[in-house]
A and B are shown apart, each in its own frame.
Chain A
Amino acid sequence: MNVSPPVWPDRLFDAFKRAGIRQVGYVPDAGHARLIERCRADADIRAVALTTEEEGVALAAGAWLGGERAALLMQSSGVGNCINMLSLMRSCRFPLLTFITMRGEWEEFNPWQVPMGSIVEPVMKLCEAEVLRATTPEEVAPLAERAVQQAFGEERVVAVLLSQQLIGKKVWVK
Chain B
Amino acid sequence: MTGTLDRRAAMATLMQGRDDDLLVVPGLGSTTWDLAAAGDNDRNFYLWGAMGGAAMIGLGLALAQPKKRVAVITGDGEMLMGMGALATIGLQRPANLAVIVFDNGVYGETGGQPSHTGAGVDLVTVARCCGFSTCLEVADLADLADLAARLQDLNGLLFARVAIGPEEPPRVLPERDGAVLKRRFRAALGLAP
Task: Name A's B-contacting residues (CB within 8 A).
Answer: 22-23, 46, 48-52, 54-68, 70, 84-85, 87-88, 91-94
Contacts and interface: CB of A to CB of B under 8 A. Distances in A.
Contacts of B178: 88, 91-93
Question: When A and B form their complex, which 9 residue pairs have the shortest distance between CB atoms, in order from nearest?
Answer: A62-B60, A66-B64, A51-B84, A92-B178, A58-B56, A58-B53, A68-B64, A91-B178, A63-B60
Among A51, A62, A68, A93, max chain B CB count under 10 A is at A62
Interface of B: 23, 25, 45, 47-65, 68, 82, 84-85, 87-88, 91-92, 178-179, 181-182, 185-186, 189, 191
| Interface of A (DSSP majority class) | helix
Nearest to B87: A51
Contacts of A93: 178-179, 182
Contact of B64 (A50, A55, A63, A91): A63
Contact of B57 (A50, A61, A68): A61
A94 B50 CA distance: 13
A50 B61 CA distance: 16
Given A68-B64, A92-B179, A62 B49 contact: no
Given A87-B50, A92-B178, 11 more contacts: A23-B64, A55-B82, A57-B53, A58-B55, A62-B58, A62-B59, A68-B60, A84-B49, A85-B50, A88-B178, A92-B179
B104 to A, nearest CB: 23
A92 B182 contact: yes
Nearest to B191: A67
A126 B25 CA distance: 28
B51 A58 contact: no
A48 B64 CA distance: 13
A67 to B, nearest CB: 5
Contact of A67 (B48, B65, B84): B65
17 contacts: A50-B84, A55-B85, A56-B56, A58-B57, A58-B85, A59-B57, A62-B25, A62-B56, A62-B60, A62-B61, A66-B23, A66-B62, A84-B51, A87-B49, A88-B50, A88-B53, A93-B182
A73 to B, nearest CB: 14
A92 B175 CA distance: 12
A67 B142 CA distance: 36
Contact of B49 (A23, A63, A64, A91): A91
A3 B115 CA distance: 53
A95 to B, nearest CB: 11
Contacts of A49: 88, 91
Given A66-B61, A67-B65, A68-B63, A46 B56 contact: no
Nearest to B50: A88
B50 A65 contact: no
Contact of A50 (B58, B88, B182, B186): B88
A65 B185 contact: yes
A56 to B, nearest CB: 8
Given A67-B189, A93-B178, A60 B52 contact: no
